[in-house]
Amino acid sequence: MLGYFGDFVDMATTERKPILLDFEKPLVELEDRIQQIRELAEDNAVDVSAQIHQLESRADQLRQEIFTSLTPAQRLQVARHPRRPSTLDYIQAMSDEWIELHGDRGSGTDDQALVGGIARFNGRAVVMLGNQKGRDMKDNVVRNFGMASPGGYRKALRLMQHANRFGMPIFTFIDTPGAYPGFEAEEMGQGEAIAYNLREMFALEVPILCTVIGEGGSGGALGIGVGDCLIMLEHSVYTVASPEACAAILWKDATRAPQAAEALKITAWDLKNFGILDVLLNEPIGGAHANPLKTTEILKDALQENLNRLLALAPQDLKQQRYEKFRRIGVFAEAHTVSA
């Protein structure tokens, strides 16, 4: 598993061919032009540093413009970016120590799509767990594209109850298209496994901090998402149903997904408006994958700050506050009946 640590450092420090999203095209064109001018100038021994400087600042401006005005559908693309840092990347980059623990002690398998273990975070032992997507096609087969099975949710609960017994805070990292909708998953009680986590997470007496680092896909995300503090990275999304599924059901047309992404209100700002999100974290320009170490630093600081706040509460107050946090969510009208 330490391979992941290596991988993460690798990602941050070595040059790899970037994977570009379609809306980054104008930026790429501009950067290509800068490169051309630079080469041309070198060949002809002309000084164009002033022009290059100007173009580079234009590129920075353009990048900023693009990434601050993403549509929900584009943000979804960033959230799903194959190079976006994953749960294990963050865990290993922000921990002093980390030991991964396996299995739910019942299903006879170990779900690789939901990982967890014990870490030392700024000197304190904490349980960290989350959905794990694959780095590449081969890895994604093992990780089932980050779609956990009932065994994954039961492993998560086992680890959370372990944390509760030993007084360790819990960090969960959410990044999944959804719980696995497969045959075995249904057979083994996908609904029951998620339901059980929802209820039992309300019973835990240690701080629970949940962070959406990429895709928050419906019940599959919520199954590790009941906590005292919900954090979202700027370009992550959280949805009741995937825009593709929603378009297929409500528009009877899966190609309407961008429209569904807009209508479903899936961005961090939307969730903040609805009183669901507590902390919105800005990512480095270009997204978390453009600067994973900087993103880790931002996330680590936010986790420590909010953990401090929650550690100050007595266990009963913590539970009470968690209950009230969810109790308040919902928008409805309440007509007061006129008494006769």
Residues lying near other proteins in the complex (CB under 8 A)? 179-183, 185-187, 189-192, 194-196, 198-200, 202-203, 218-219, 222-223, 225-226, 238-241, 245-246, 249-252, 260, 263-266, 270-271, 274, 276, 322-323, 326-327, 329-337
Look at the block and give the residue holding tokens 């007084």. 167
DSSP string, 241-295: S-HHHHIIIIIS-GGGHHHHHHHTT-BHHHHHHTT--SEEEPPPTT-GGG-HHHH
Cα 79 to Cα 267: distance, rounded to the nearest angstrom: 10
CB of 9 or CB of 195, closer to other proteins:
195
**Rounded to the nearest whole angstrom, what is the least distance from the CB of residue 256 to other proteins in the complex?**
8
**Rounded to the nearest whole angstrom, what is the least distance from the CB of residue 175 to other proteins in the complex?**
16
Helix or strand or coil: residue 97?
strand
**Rounded to the nearest whole angstrom, what is the least distance from the CB of residue 91 to other proteins in the complex?**
24
**Rounded to the nearest whole angstrom, what is the least distance from the CB of residue 234 to other proteins in the complex?**
17
Question: Which helix (H) or strand (E) element contains residue 115?
Answer: strand 114-121
DSSP 8-state secondary structure symbol assigned to residue 109: S
**Rounded to the nearest whole angstrom, what is the least distance from the CB of residue 267 to other proteins in the complex?**
10
Helix or strand or coil: residue 119?
strand
DSSP lists the bridge partners of residue 230 as 210
- Taking alpha carbons only, the member of 208, 190, 204 closest to residue 130 is 208
Backbone φ, ψ for residue 280 (5° rounding): -105, 120
Structure-derived torsion over alpha carbons of residues 284, 287, 288, 291, reported in degrees to the nearest 10? -60
Q: Are 35 and 43 in contact (CB under 8 A)?
A: no
**Rounded to the nearest whole angstrom, what is the least distance from the CB of residue 52 to other proteins in the complex?**
45
**Rounded to the nearest whole angstrom, what is the least distance from the CB of residue 316 to other proteins in the complex?**
12
Q: Are 115 and 129 in contact (CB under 8 A)?
A: yes
CB of 185 or CB of 310, closer to other proteins:
185
